[in-house]
Amino acid sequence: MSGDIKKFMMVNRKAPYGTIYALESLEVVLIAAAFEQDVSLAFLDDGVYQLKKGHQTKGIEVKGFEKTYGALEDYDVEKLYVDQESLTARGLTAEDLCVPVEVMSRAELGKLMEEQDVLLSF
């Protein structure tokens, strides 16, 4: 596929399952990546809960999507940024997350946002 490659960042601030935002964001990530765009994901506030290991969604009869984060590598989506402050406020560390991420400060995340062509907030 030819054409301009743009820098997309999905900014994820919602917990999974309680609302549809997390799943919608993931779908948009996969679509943008299928069109070979330069995609990165930022997780802050309750968005960091999306990556918490060990989702077992059978009890609430909803399709779980933790495993899909593992496919991002196949889509060449390897830039996952997580806000340190948000993890700390939720008693989490990078070891609690289901995929490798880069943990950074909110200010550093903000700088990365400035570098994007398109920001999508979920």
Partner 1 sequence: MASIEVNGKSYEIDEEGYLVNLGEWNEEVGAYLAQTENVTMTEQHWEVVNFLRDYYNEFQIAPAVRVLTKAIGKKLGADKGNSQYLYELFPYGPAKQACKIAGLPKPTGCV
Partner 2 sequence: MLHIVNKSPLDRNSLDAVLGTGDGGAILLIEDGVYAATKGNAYEPKLKAAMAKFKIYALQGDLEARGISDRVTDGVAAVDYAGFVDLVADNKTNQSWL
| 52 touches, from partner 1, partner 2, none (C-beta below 5 to 8 Å by class) | partner 2
User: Which of 16, 44, 101, 122 contacts partner 2 by CB under 8 A?
Assistant: 16
Q: Which residues contact 110 (CB under 8 A, 6 or more apart)?
A: none
- Binding of residue 45 to partner 2 (CB under 8 A): yes
Which residues form the interface with partner 1 (CB under 8 A)?
27, 30-31, 33-36, 63-65, 67-68, 70-71, 74-75
Q: What is the rounded CA–CA span in Å between residue 85 and residue 75?
A: 28
Say if residues 56 and 79 touch (Cβ distance below 8 Å): no
Nearer to partner 2, 3 or 59 (CB): 59
Nearer to partner 2, 49 or 81 (CB): 49
Q: How many other β-carbons are positioned within 10 Å of the β-carbon of residue 4?
A: 6
- Binding of residue 6 to partner 2 (CB under 8 A): no
Size of the site for partner 2 (CB under 8 A): 25
Q: Which residues contact 91 (CB under 8 A, 6 or more apart)?
A: none
Least separation, in Å, of the C-beta of 11 and partner 2? 14
Q: What is the rounded CA–CA span in Å between residue 122 and residue 13?
A: 6
**Tokens matching residue 85:** 């402050």
- Binding of residue 91 to partner 2 (CB under 8 A): yes
Q: What is the rounded CA–CA span in Å between residue 5 and residue 54?
A: 34
Q: What residues make contact with partner 2 under the rule CB under 8 A?
A: 14-19, 45-46, 49, 52-60, 62, 64, 66, 89-92
